Amino acid sequence: MNIDKKVKILATLGPATASLDDVRQLAEAGVNLFRLNFSHGEHADHALRYDWIRQVEQQLNCPLGILMDLQGPKLRVGRFEAGKVELRRGQALRLDLDPTPGDAQRVNLPHPEIIAALRPGMHLLLDDGKLRLRVTATHAEAIDTEVVDGGELSDRKGVNVPEAVLALSPLTEKDRRDLAFGLQLGVDWVALSFVQRPQDILEARELIGDRAYLMAKIEKPSAVEHLQAIAEQADAIMVARGDLGVEVPAESVPQIQKRIIATCRQLGKPVVVATQMLESMRFASTPTRAEVTDVANAVAEGADTLMLSAETASGDYPLEAVQMMSKIIRQVENGPDYQAQLDVGRPKAEATVSDAISCAIRRISGILPVAVLVNYSESGASTLRAARERPRAPILNLTPNLITARRLSVVWGVRSVVNDRLHQVDEICSTALEIAQAQGMAQRGDTVLITAGVPFGKPGTTNTLRVETLL
């Protein structure tokens, strides 16, 4: 397993990863957690891939996280008599609730919540933003629009409504069925699509409870507007640049990405940067220089995890894509300016014992040649706070809880080992040194920092920091 990189890799499974051996190769190449995309595939497909991941986890003796990505509400136009139409700039087009197949003058929009939310002057984007309509008038069951950017529009193409907040739950009936199935399987993370407001997180949380952690996907302008509150409610954030890049001007996406990463780091919440990171590697064995730069920039900005989508799910070079992303991550992390960049964006510490110890860890690892920071954490909370500081040395998280280890697979710089032998402080130190050496993270003569809580085993009591030398 790759232990020489701090930024994690999330890889999507699909037809391109068709066997247990394929999954194992991806994990050995640097994947830390896997995504099951419930926008595609049947439950049986996801169950099979889930089993492969768990088998690989046992074979490699390394916790692997599993994220289920819910499809969310898909907004689409209806069908056309001829299957498609050509819309010209300046022409009128009505969108209504009538299910009759449409033509160049009208088409069904089977979403009354969109019609209710739109006002004259607002815009609709069709087919991933290729076509743009401006609302000229609204009615009880229809809207009239003018085509601003025309082109071909065919059956069931997607609709984006960037300027309105829709009275729409982020969880469709399909999502609820998928969520029940995924939670029964035992997924570690649930990604919630098309979040608009903090209340969406609370709605999903009621269904999930403590059975999985919740990751909010930021892909709507309203979600960007309410970013702070959404990030406070969620366990992690995904910068979902696909739909986000449709609903906001493309030139705004880099700044929004930076803002999301900074917000998450201040809150100590993991952040995933996703979509088209190595898109050309779907069909080519090497990426473009622009893609390499995009990946490198996300690493330099302080992201916890980078995601591969179609590159590993349906591309021709899934293993090569993971290997390339791993190489880019290591190249940036080994650069002379990487740590300095992270230190510039260091978040303000809170007045807690955990944050005080985490800040001390960062300072000590910058002064002494610390090989590894060993942190015992049953819940993972203190490990998250330590990772928030982005210390120079990697973090070895010791926990008796396999679920905690899997959920921390998304967190920057953290490698988890499940161990239930720890009972008292002296044993913590000796066991920590033993495991650090066994994991190849420290050797004789190295300095190791160890944090734990006294009384031992009580969550939320991390209050001890020891500096040890591996003899």
Domain assignment of residue 354, yes or no: yes
Residue 132's identity, in one-letter code, is: R
Query: Which positions of the chain have pLDDT values less than 70?
Result: 1-3, 421-426, 454-461
Selected catalytic residue, list 54, 74, 76, 259: 76
Same domain, yes or no: 205 and 253: yes
pLDDT for 346 equals: 84
Domain limits at 281?
8-73+170-333
pLDDT of residue 452: 85
CATH number at residue 325: 3.20.20.60
**Do 266 and 203 share a structural domain?**
yes
pLDDT at 354: 83
CB-based contact 460:385 (threshold 8 Å) = no
Selecting among 12, 275, 312, 451, the annotated active-site residue is 275
- pLDDT at residue 428, rounded to an integer: 81
Q: What is the pLDDT of residue 166?
A: 94
Is residue 343, in this structure, part of any structural domain at all?
no
Would residue 217 show up in a list of annotated catalytic residues for this protein? yes
Kindly state whether residues 321 and 414 are assigned to the same domain. no
Residue 129: the pLDDT is 93
Classify residue 234: in a domain, yes or no.
yes
Domain presence at residue 233: yes
* Judgement on whether residues 140 and 263 belong to the same structural domain of the protein: no
Query: What amino acid is encoded at 56 in this protein?
Result: V
How is residue 402 written in tokens?
């396999």
Last residue of a domain, one of 102, 125, 160: 160
Q: Domain check: are 243 and 99 in the same one?
A: no
pLDDT tens-digit series, residues 311-346: 999 999 999 999 999 999 999 999 999 999 998 888
120 and 184 share a domain? no
Q: What DSSP line would sit under 100-143, residue for residue?
A: S-B-SSEEE---HHHHHH--TT-EEEETTTTEEEEEEEE-SSEE
Whether residue 455 is found in the same domain as residue 381: yes
Cβ neighbours, 10 Å, residue 202: 10
| Whether residues 29 and 129 fall in one domain | no
Compute the distance between CA of residue 326 and CA of residue 32 in angstroms, rounded to an integer: 11
74 carries an active-site annotation: no
**Residue 376 CB partners (closer than 8 Å, separation 6+):** 397, 398, 399, 422, 428, 432, 450, 451, 452, 453, 462
Residue 274 contacts residue 187 (beta carbons within 8 Å): no
CATH for 97: 2.40.33.10
Domain stops at, among 133, 160, 187: 160
Question: Are residues 321 and 398 located together in one domain of the fold?
Answer: no
Q: How many helices (H) and strands (E) does the chain have?
A: 17, 21
Reported as a single tens digit per residue, the pLDDT across 192-203 is 999 999 999 999
**Residue 165 placed within a domain:** no
Would residue 392 count as lying in a domain?
yes
Among the listed residues 24, 132, 217, 407, the single catalytic one is 217
> Is residue 2 one of the residues assigned to a domain?
no
Does the active-site annotation cover 76?
yes
Q: 348 catalytic, yes or no? A: no
Residue 353 has phi, psi (to 5 degrees) of -60, -40
Gap between the terminal Cα atoms of the chain: 25
Tell me if 339 is assigned to some domain.
Answer: no
**Full-model pTM:** 0.94
Q: Judge if 427 and 320 occupy the same domain.
A: no
Q: Of 5, 8, 35, 407, which is the active-site residue?
A: 35
For residues 174 and 221, membership in a common domain is answered with yes
Contacts of 355 (CB under 8 A, 6+ apart): 349, 385
- Domain boundary (160, 186, 207) is at 160
pLDDT (tens digit per residue) in 47-82: 999 999 999 999 999 999 999 999 999 999 999 999
Same-domain check for residues 383 and 439: yes
Q: Using a pLDDT cut of 90, give the percent of the chain over it.
A: 87
Number of domains in the chain: 3
